[in-house]
């Protein structure tokens, strides 16, 4: 028995009286006190309760407060008449249950502390995940949450999520309105004053939520660190090291005999991280991509299907662009294209417990990436790459280090090849209308000839064959009809 196995078997569940101490604090809205108590009970031999981990995740993901209305204590629901003392008292009581920003920070710190103290499986058992196959029962429901308290009811959104990628998405945890439970009069709520219409109101319903909410970065960082710790544990099944929790974040195959392949949600998070301005968050994308690459080295992933899927092709295209922009020899980096700001969906179906559900339909996880959603919807999740971008990156992405010339050529080769593959599969809605002109006018042919003439001379003799092969393939694409590209 390995040392890790010994640690796992030695771990026991937290005692009921200890759990009750934490529950009492959380029920009263004393979140920081409850977190302090839970931290004092933290031990390598004691597993934290799954309910507590989910409640910590809810606290950590709770959006920071907006600017407080100083007149809220005196104005009534219509903004002009003062509210009655009983209504104010009820509202203040509910406001006391809303997590503070300090409680959110404390929850993140405790999650990180648990990762350092306990084995990964003591924490991953609490996280949303897909079942082992399409016909198996959901294994996430490992214990019953006490729904009597505010925090227990609200954390049901974490419990109901299909995967962890949903937790990080913007709008997953919505701010709780203190007056949401205001008494009704004659069976109907008092109408609230209408908010000022948004100038993009018509587009809100069609906008995509951001893969990572601005306040969810610390939780994503914790999650990736947990996956890395799980991956580092030696395996005895002959497989390379991988994270079983990361595998469980990929939708189950239709049949038990099939292997998983649809990692589109994870790839979306990777490219979103890499395009962020913060270098720390960009590094998270690199770390998550490394975990995914290690996972594809196992027998649990259908690699061929994964690589040929539309989301994987779009990710590959965006990734090549990301690399080549870093190698650009122009003094000024390309201006970023305006991205659609992620906005929460206006209306969501409510789950049986009354919480808002952000989940797709039950069949979504069993369908290919483009089923049930238009190609434009999938493409909009990645930075746009046009035929003009392809030509620009071919001409400008010259490496500063002569030793990396061939590596840059390979990325340029993959960029053009992937873009051509996507265009050959695209419909009228998603096809780049100028790609046909780029091919027929000879622009791509000229760019390929020019790039390989300049960079090919710097290649070592043993690399010449590879360079010529890439050039031949790209010229074949450049001289073909757009429908055959």
pLDDT for the residue 291: 97
Q: What is the number of other CB atoms lying within 10 angstroms of the CB of residue 61?
A: 24
The first and second tokens of residue 302, run together, are 């259908």
Exposure string (b/e) for 411-425, b if CB count within 10 Å is 16 or more? bbbbbbbbbbbbbee
Dmax (CA) of the chain: 86
pLDDT for the residue 15: 94
Q: Which residues contact 87 (CB under 8 A, 6 or more apart)?
A: 182, 183
- Alpha-carbon Rg for the chain in angstroms: 26
Residue 210, CA atoms < 13 Å, CB-side half-sphere: 19
Residue 247, CA atoms < 13 Å, CB-side half-sphere: 20
What is the SS3 assignment for 221-268?
A: HHHHHHHHHHHHCCCCCCCCCCCHHHHCCCCCCCCCCCCECCCHHHHH
Per residue of the chain (485 residues), give pLDDT as tens: 444 454 455 689 999 999 999 999 999 999 999 999 999 999 999 999 999 999 999 999 999 986 344 444 444 444 454 555 555 455 555 567 899 999 999 999 999 999 999 999 999 999 999 986 554 444 444 455 556 788 999 999 999 999 999 999 999 999 876 544 443 333 333 334 434 444 444 444 346 789 999 999 999 999 999 999 999 988 777 778 999 999 999 998 776 668 898 999 999 999 999 999 999 999 999 999 999 999 999 988 998 888 988 889 999 999 999 989 876 554 334 444 444 444 444 344 444 344 444 443 433 433 333 333 444 555 667 778 899 999 999 888 666 666 678 888 899 999 999 999 999 888 888 888 899 889 999 999 999 998 888 766 666 566 778 888 999 999 999 887 544 44
pLDDT for the residue 373: 41
pLDDT for the residue 263: 92
Map tokens 């306040």 to a residue: 215
Q: CA quadruple 288, 290, 291, 295: dihedral positive or negative?
A: positive
Instruction: State how far the Cα of 296 lies from the Cα of 299, in Å rounded to an integer.
Output: 8
């Amino acid at each position: 028995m390995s040392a890790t196995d010994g640690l796992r078997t030695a771990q026991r569940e937290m005692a009921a009286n200890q759990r009750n101490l934490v529950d009492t604090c959380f029920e009263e809205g004393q979140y920081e006190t409850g977190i302090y108590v839970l931290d004092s009970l933290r031990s390598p031999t004691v597993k934290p309760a799954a309910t507590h981990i989910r409640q910590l995740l809810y606290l950590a993901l709770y959006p920071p407060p907006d600017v407080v209305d100083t007149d809220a204590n005196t104005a009534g629901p219509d903004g002009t008449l003062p509210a009655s003392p009983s209504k104010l008292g009820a509202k203040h009581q509910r406001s006391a249950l809303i997590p503070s920003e300090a409680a959110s920070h404390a929850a993140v710190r405790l999650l990180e502390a648990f990762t350092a103290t306990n084995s990964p499986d003591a924490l991953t058992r609490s996280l949303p995940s897909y079942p082992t196959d399409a016909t198996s029962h959901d294994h996430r429901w490992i214990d019953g949450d006490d729904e009597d308290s505010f925090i227990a009811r609200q954390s049901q959104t974490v419990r109901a999520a299909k995967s962890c990628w949903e937790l990080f998405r913007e709008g997953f945890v919505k701010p709780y309105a203190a007056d949401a439970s205001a008494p009704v009069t004659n069976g109907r709520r008092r109408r609230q004053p209408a908010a000022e219409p948004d100038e993009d109101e018509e587009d809100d319903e069609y906008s995509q939520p951001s893969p990572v909410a601005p306040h969810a970065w610390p939780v994503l960082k914790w999650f990736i660190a947990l996956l890395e710790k799980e991956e580092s544990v030696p395996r005895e099944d002959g497989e390379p090291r991988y994270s079983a929790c990361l595998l469980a974040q990929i939708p189950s195959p239709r049949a038990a005999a099939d292997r998983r392949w649809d990692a589109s949600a994870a790839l979306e998070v990777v490219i979103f991280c890499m395009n962020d301005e913060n270098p720390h968050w960009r590094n998270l994308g690199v770390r998550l991509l490394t975990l995914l690459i290690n996972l594809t080295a196992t027998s649990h992933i259908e690699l061929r299907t994964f690589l040929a899927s539309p989301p994987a092709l779009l990710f590959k295209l965006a990734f090549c662009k990301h690399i080549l922009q870093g190698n650009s020899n122009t003094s000024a980096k390309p201006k970023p294209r305006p991205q659609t700001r992620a906005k929460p969906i206006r209306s969501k179906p409510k789950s049986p417990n009354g919480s808002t559900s952000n989940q797709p339909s039950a069949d979504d996880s069993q369908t290919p990436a483009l089923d049930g959603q238009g190609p434009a919807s999938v493409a909009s999740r990645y930075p746009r790459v046009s035929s003009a971008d392809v030509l620009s990156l071919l001409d400008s992405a010259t490496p500063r280090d002569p030793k990396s010339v061939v590596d840059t050529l390979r990325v340029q080769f993959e960029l053009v090849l992937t873009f051509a593959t996507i265009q050959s599969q695209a419909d009228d809605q998603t096809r780049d209308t100028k790609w046909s002109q780029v091919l027929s006018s000879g622009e791509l042919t000229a760019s390929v000839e020019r790039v390989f003439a300049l960079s090919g001379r710097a290649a070592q003799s043993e690399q010449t064959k590879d360079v010529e092969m890439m050039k031949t393939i790209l010229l074949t694409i450049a001289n073909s009809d757009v429908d055959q590209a």
